[in-house]
Amino acid sequence: MSWEQYFNKPYSGPIKKYLFEILKEKYEKNEKIIERTINSFDMRSDVEALVELFGDIYQSGYEIAFNQFKEEISKHNYLSNLLPPEEKIQIKSNDKIFKN
């Protein structure tokens, strides 16, 4: 990335870093779409909305998997004592790309 590109798209670096940390070895196969996508983000609010979208997608997938697991456990009526009560499950939202 040239200096001109960096100054025109200052958020592309943090977005790439964030996605690389999440995707790890899967980043390379998605790099082309990541490059094309991040070029459309000019404002900090766009980037924060993108990160929030990724968080929502991740959380939704986790909740679906957790509920499916809980349903299977209850069908077989074993290991149900190992799951914490739902009111004790807390989701922490401290995974922001920009720290204030």
pTM of the model: 0.55
Query: Which residue is it, tokens 């909305």?
Result: 49
Choose among 92, 15, 11, 75: nearest CA to 44.
Answer: 11
- Cα four-point dihedral sign 36, 42, 46, 51: positive
Q: How confident is the model at residue 87 (pLDDT cuts 50, 70, 90)?
A: low
Question: For 18-69, what is each residue's pLDDT tens digit?
Answer: 889 888 999 999 999 988 888 777 778 888 888 888 889 989 999 999 999 8
What is the pLDDT at residue 41?
78
Residue, of 18 and 77, whose pLDDT is higher? 18
Backbone angles phi, psi at 78, to 5 degrees: -140, 155
